[in-house]
Structure 1
Amino acid sequence: MGIFNRVKTIVMADLHELLDKVEDPISLLNQYMRELDEQVEKAKETLGHQLYLEKRHEQLVAESLAVVAKRTHQAELAVEKGEDTIARIALQEKLQQEAKLKLYQEQHAAMKQQTSALREQIDVLLEKYNELSNRRLVLISRAHAAKAQEQLQKAVASFSSDNALKGFRRVEDYVQQLEAQASAASYFIPSVPTVNLEIQEAVERELALLKESKE
């Protein structure tokens, strides 16, 4: 089957060697999977056409058997009635149909063998397709994880702890300056003397006594 030549090339080739020769091996791998998808679709079409032909020849065999049986019965009736001419015609058509029947049966048997062989090839194709599809998913996942790790390592490598510490120190100095300015501003706020109620009452009593002594 010519439709499987490309599949066989993809499956049997050393993919690692091919992938090493391109800048973007993931793209090449995706291209291989697209080609495999096309081959799977062609295999479906081929199997469908093969099953149609097999079914058609199965019908031809059944139709030929029915015609042979019918002409045999007609010839027997004609002989019973003494109608030899009609019997000869029926027998002639019977023999012609039996020749076709033999051809149809041989073709049907050959087609069944072809269908069986085609199914085996398709089973191999699907098995390899599923295997490569799963491997593709795993490889793409690993590639993405590796790229993410590489980017993280680059970010860590570009990060400068000295610059970060200097930045924190500048912020700390700024905050300390703000705190010092706030403390200085509070120093210049006039203090309000606190009023002692007991002293105030004593003052009022003394004032009253002083006024009485003057009278």
Structure 2
Amino acid sequence: MVNLLQRLKYTIEADLHHLFDKKEEKNPIAMLNQYIREAEKQTEETGKWLERQATLKQKLEKELEETKKMHDKRSKQLDLAKLSGEQDLIDFAEHEILAYEQRSIVLRNSIDKNADELFGLERKYEEMKHKIKDMKVRQLQLMGKENVVRAHNQMDHILHPETTGNINDRLDTFETMENYIERLGQKIDHQHEVTSMEERLTLLEQKTTKKETQDLA
């Protein structure tokens, strides 16, 4: 289990940069999201192993407690057997006491070893969780960078069309729109000028007609 956790730890600690240096990769954020999901899944599974290891430790401790109780019980029974002078009971109690003492030694060693292993696993487990947190911070950083790049590209598309290959697109840039508005304004001014001239000519014509009528009168 320790070796497996170590491999998982190395997997999570793998350098992320080379994943995004590949030119063929078009969406590093999606890659990172998938990587984080996989790491979270591995960490969740590791947590279950830790829970199982802790449960085993509790069972060993419970077994040791029962062994101690039986050892104490047989010790008291041995005293009674010695008082009664019944040798077969004495031999049985002594044999039982020895068995419980040996079992207690085995259980204590197992519990100590289990405690050391559990502590080591818990440390690695916490490191894995911290690594995921670090990757999520990295995720936010990359998302911020991606957002800035997209924003710059969009602004460059408008402000500097010559660099984006869209210089011929109609109304795609501020400059194009300004030129369009200027032409539209000139057209409107011309139409207004023509209309004004027509009005003046009409008024002049009306005045002339009125004057001619007055002269005839």
TM-score by length of 2: 0.75
Match of 1:127 in 2: 130
Match of 2:35 in 1: 32
Task: Determine what percentage of the aligned residue pairs are the same residue.
Answer: 23
Higher relative contact order (CA 8 A, sep 6+): 2
Which has the higher Rg, Structure 1 or Structure 2? 1
Over 3 Å counting, the alpha-carbon distance change for 1:12 and 1:170 in structure 2 is: closer
1:177-188 equivalence runs, <5 A:
177=191, 181=195, 184=199, 187=203
| Distance in 1 between residues matched to 2:176 and 2:30, nearest whole Å | 41
Separation (CA, whole Å) in 2 of partners of 1:187 and 1:6 = 94
AA in 2 matched with 1:73: K
User: Aligned equivalents of 1:34 and 1:166: distance in 2?
Assistant: 51
Pairing 1:105-120 to 2, within 5 Å after superposition: 105-120=108-123
From the superposition, tell whether residues 167 and 117 of structure 1 become closer, same or farther in structure 2 (CA, over 3 Å): same
Listed as ranges, the matches of 1:1-215 within 5 Å are: 1=2, 2-13=4-15, 15-21=16-22, 22-24=24-26, 25-158=28-161, 159=173, 161=175, 164-171=178-185, 173-174=187-188, 177=191, 181=195, 184=199, 187=203
| Distance in 2 of aligned mates of 1:33 and 1:163 | 45
Amino acid corresponding to residue 18 of structure 1 in structure 2:
L
Whole-angstrom CA distance in 1 between matches of 2:5 and 2:176: 64
Shift of 1:160: 5.0
Q: Secondary structure at the match of 2:60?
A: helix
Is there any run of 5+ residues in structure 1 with no aligned partner, and where?
Answer: 191-215
What's the offset of the Cα at 1:31?
2.4
Tell me which amino acid in the other structure corresponds to 2:181: G
The change in CA–CA distance for 1:57 and 1:28 in structure 2 (over 3 A counts) is same
